[in-house]
Structure 1
Amino acid sequence: MSVAVCLLLYGFAVAVLAPRVLRRISASGAAPRIAVAAWVAVMISTLLAWTVTVTIIVVDIGTHKISVLPARFLDTCLLHLHDAAVGHYGRHLQTGLLVLSFFAALAGLVVALRLATTLWRSRRSTIEHARMARLAGRHHPELDAVILDVDHPAAYCVAGKPHTIVVSRGVLTALDDHHLEAVLSHERAHLIGRHHLLLTLTRGLATVLPRIQLFTTGAAEVARLLEMLADDAAARIHGRDTVLQALLTMAALPEQSDTTHAVLRSRVRRLSEPAGPARSHSRAAAVAATLTAMLIPVAALIAAAIGIEVCLT
């Protein structure tokens, strides 16, 4: 039971504190791959902590054997809570705690089902989007992309069967060949790196748990950092200056949303600034955050497994 309370407090503490800390770490984009790992590790560890908490409580109440442990393993509050759950303080309080545990487990199951449904619908929608883009546009064999005859600036990739890179006529008109190749390399990097899987997961969590800032902010930050990862992949092929000039041209195009402009400005600023000590510090902080987010739940899981094994024997 002590492990359950610790995991519960860990999950809530991380959900409250992590967004502010991780945003500072990932703001500069110094180490986008590590920053993405930190965000995903924190989100997964929080869900894992809450899931294990519910599991431990159900096992504890179901076995009714934890009371054989010496009292020194539990503080007075937790010991009284367990005694109430096994009926030492009357059936009414026991029934209330059992009902509360049942609804907690039910809520976890509902969230899991909603997440699975959201991910499945997102996958179906993405495949349909790719199919419609191929039908609406024309395939350019030299670019290996689908060209849409619209003036609205658009260049993006859609994971499907097969994967599709979509470029609008407005982008083709605005960019020269070198810059266009850099943009296409950027989109190919998304597909090669399977970034759509991370986007689907984080956006699914944000959809299912929209009131928890960790997941909503995390989804936006992961999307921004993945753009920077793709920029780095394109820069290794075409050079940093070429990617930067392509971004500057894209940022100058009209009819783009405020969110798109904000992300473009962030990417331009990152490519314009030379690497320095601040980025090294951000990289080290991101590594520390990732390891912390991964090791604490693992340690708690080991403790929980040992505790459950003791209770069942």
Structure 2
Amino acid sequence: MSVALCLLLYGFAVAVLAPRLLRRLSIEGTAPRIAIAAWLAAMASTVLAWTVTLAILLIDIATHQISLFPVRFMDGCLLHLHDAAVGDYGHPVQTGLLALSGFATLAGILVAYRLATTLLRSRRRTLEHARMARLAGRHHPDLDAVVLDVDHPAAYCVAGKPHTIVLSRGVLTALEDHHLDAVLAHERAHLDGRHHLLLTLTRGLASVLPRLDLFTVGAAEVARLLEMLADDAAARKHGPDTVLQALLTLSALPSPPATAQAALLPRVRRLSAPTTPPRWYARAMATAVALLAVSIPVAAIITAGIGIRVCAV
């Protein structure tokens, strides 16, 4: 075994096993903030583990410094890899290994490039959307929102310079004043919490790694949990009953806005249930998953760094 192999296997284990476990922990939104942290930790640790694995292998092949890893029983895999890289197993094996390493490096670069371009494209699209909404609508000073003169119901926020909350005339007509205040508080909670940054990142990872449930399911779950966080923020200001009635009113419209459609049933259950503290074991389990997801790759990387430092002295 080796640090690189452990990190590689860890990344695949998290990618396969984490989605089902984390979805069970976050399905009812008992502790949405901790559940979001657990999802993000699992995603980040997987990407980190695979990135460090590739870096370790490339460094080893390039420098042939197997002795950098001081624990002898961990050297077997990399020792064979080293021997293959220097041609001890024949030129075909050496060529194949170098080609595989090159392919892995190219794949990593392409994924990083696609992620960067996806994030930049999403940012440009969001800024343009905010600009067009301000041009097409009129600013309502009392609501501090842009109102579109259309009957189709719309209630959402767009990050930009400045951030913009967009409402349609159909929503203003359908909602009473206190319900409208709750909707505005919900959207402001999204902007104040910078939820758009988390959505952009998780959706970007899902778009460049579409075959891995950790990122595709994770992006959907994070979006759903962020809606619950915004519900909680609005409920603290206007009460859960007001937020619930606003949500039900919007969902009953002929073409409900996206904010009323996302994970409707769990949100309704949370808002209609008696106010009780989150179950301790759900919070503890989500916290443990988040800490474990971060600690394993970080500990492995620190171990490798210490080994390199000790042997370099």
Please give the range of the TM-score, normalised by the shorter of the 2 chains.
Answer: over 0.9
Q: Is the 8 A contact 2:182 2:238 kept in 1?
A: yes
Q: Structure 1 vs Structure 2: percent identity of aligned residues?
A: 74
- Distance (whole Å) between structure 2 residues aligned to residue 234 and residue 203 of structure 1: 25
Q: Is the 8 A contact 1:8 1:49 kept in 2?
A: yes
Counterpart for residue 256 of structure 1: 256
Which residues in structure 2 correspond to 1:248-287 (within 5 Å)?
A: 248-256=248-256, 261=261, 263-274=263-274, 279-287=279-287
- Distance (whole Å) between structure 1 residues aligned to residue 296 and residue 157 of structure 2: 36
Taking structure 2 as the reference length, the TM-score comes to 0.94
Counterpart for residue 83 of structure 2: 83
Kindly tell me the number of residue pairs found equivalent between the two proteins. Answer: 313
Counterpart for residue 30 of structure 1: 30
Q: Which moved more, 1:252-261 or 1:132-141?
A: 252-261
Which residues in structure 2 correspond to 1:179-194 (within 5 Å)?
A: 179-194=179-194
- Distance (whole Å) between structure 2 residues aligned to residue 77 and residue 7 of structure 1: 13
- For residues 26-68 of structure 1, the C-alpha deviation after alignment (integer angstroms, 9 at most, x for no partner) is 0110111111111111101100000000000011111112158
The answer as to 2:18 corresponding to 1:18 is yes
Q: Is the 8 A contact 1:66 1:311 kept in 2?
A: no
Cα offset, 1:7, TM superposition: 0.4
Change (3 A) 1:170 1:280: farther
Cα offset, 1:260, TM superposition: 5.2
Amino acid at match of 1:34: I
The answer as to 2:167 corresponding to 1:167 is yes
User: Structure 1: which 5+ residue stretches go unaligned?
Assistant: none
| SS of 1:150 mapped into structure 2 | coil
Q: Is the 8 A contact 1:137 1:149 kept in 2?
A: yes
Counterpart for residue 236 of structure 1: 236
The answer as to 2:137 corresponding to 1:137 is yes
- Distance (whole Å) between structure 1 residues aligned to residue 145 and residue 133 of structure 2: 10
Change (3 A) 1:71 1:34: closer
Counterpart for residue 246 of structure 1: 246
- Distance (whole Å) between structure 2 residues aligned to residue 196 and residue 43 of structure 1: 17
Amino acid at match of 1:241: D
Amino acid at match of 1:119: L
Taking structure 1 as the reference length, the TM-score comes to 0.94
Counterpart for residue 93 of structure 1: 93
Q: Is the 8 A contact 1:43 1:214 kept in 2?
A: yes
- Distance (whole Å) between structure 2 residues aligned to residue 87 and residue 116 of structure 1: 37
Amino acid at match of 1:196: H
| SS of 1:55 mapped into structure 2 | helix
Counterpart for residue 299 of structure 2: 299
- Distance (whole Å) between structure 1 residues aligned to residue 309 and residue 101 of structure 2: 21
Counterpart for residue 214 of structure 2: 214
Cα offset, 1:6, TM superposition: 0.3
Counterpart for residue 125 of structure 2: 125
The answer as to 2:65 corresponding to 1:65 is yes
Q: Is the 8 A contact 1:65 1:312 kept in 2?
A: no
Q: Is the 8 A contact 2:140 2:146 kept in 1?
A: yes
Cα offset, 1:226, TM superposition: 0.5
- Distance (whole Å) between structure 1 residues aligned to residue 60 and residue 311 of structure 2: 8
- Distance (whole Å) between structure 1 residues aligned to residue 32 and residue 42 of structure 2: 15
Amino acid at match of 2:305: A
Change (3 A) 1:125 1:224: same
- Distance (whole Å) between structure 2 residues aligned to residue 81 and residue 56 of structure 1: 12
Change (3 A) 1:87 1:269: same
Amino acid at match of 2:18: A
| SS of 2:146 mapped into structure 1 | strand
Counterpart for residue 226 of structure 1: 226
- For residues 154-178 of structure 1, the C-alpha deviation after alignment (integer angstroms, 9 at most, x for no partner) is 1100000110000111111111000
The CA RMSD over aligned residues, in Å, is 2.0
Change (3 A) 1:98 1:28: same
Cα offset, 1:264, TM superposition: 2.2
Cα offset, 1:78, TM superposition: 4.5
Change (3 A) 1:210 1:68: closer
- Distance (whole Å) between structure 2 residues aligned to residue 120 and residue 192 of structure 1: 21
